[in-house]
Amino acid sequence: MSDKRVPSIVPPNKGYPREELEEMVKRWLQANIDAEKEGNWTKHLPPMYTEDAVYAWNIGPNEEFVANGRQEIADVALGYQMKGFEEWQYPYHDIIIDEQRGTVIGFWKQVSPYKRADGTYYDIAGIGGSWFEYGGDYQWKWQRDFFDLGNAKECFFQLAGAGNLDSIVKEKIHQQAKGILLPGHQKLRPELSKFEKMKNTMAMVKIALTGK
């Protein structure tokens, strides 16, 4: 069983030549373009991670996705998690490189292949991106994605209403609704009891109704 650890929030200070990091970003962007063209992330992206790389993202206040090691990244993060999204695109629109720390932040969008009635594509609004630590030899040591979870849910609600959710995505949602953790998902702490959830809900209802 893999060690489900979330990567350190503050990366070590290990500098690299600016030119090397710029070349890494160039290779990474091309690999993403190739993956999107083929709808195949497991072919183009796994070689760009170190053997012991960690890939993670948050899924709400008490759940994380974590893949430990290149093989798990290939099988779960880029394999299972991307099933049903083969036609989606994730264009980068800005890149920040910090050669002194060996880190990169890339900002991207999540754009579905489906159009609304007005001709615009369904996409996930807000800020989305990836924070990388470079591990040398043109490979990432870790990657942490971030996106607006509320906007992601709203996008999926709209896609569901329009009948545009892939069957595999529907099955994933069904499993989550039953409380089943999908591959790579883990709880950060024990779940609140039903009493605590009800107490919190009633407290928020009171605030919404009375302002107190």
Topology of the domain covering 18-210: Nuclear Transport Factor 2; Chain: A, (3.10.450)
Average pLDDT, the chain: 91
Confidence band for 3, pLDDT divided at 50, 70 and 90: very low
Pick the residue with more confidence: 117 or 195? Answer: 117
Lowest mean per-residue pLDDT among 39-48, 101-110, 115-124, 184-193: 184-193
Pick the residue with more confidence: 6 or 179? Answer: 179
Lowest mean per-residue pLDDT among 4-8, 47-51, 127-131, 132-136: 4-8
Q: If you average pLDDT over residues 197-206, what whole number do you get?
A: 86
Confidence band for 191, pLDDT divided at 50, 70 and 90: confident
Has residue 1 got a pLDDT over 80? no
Question: What pLDDT does 13 receive?
Answer: 57
Where on the phi/psi map is residue 43: left (φ > 0), alpha (ψ -120 to 50), or beta?
alpha
Residue 84: exposure state from Cβ atoms within 10 A (0-12, 13-18, ≥19): middle
Has residue 184 got a pLDDT over 90? yes
Question: What pLDDT does 9 receive?
Answer: 52
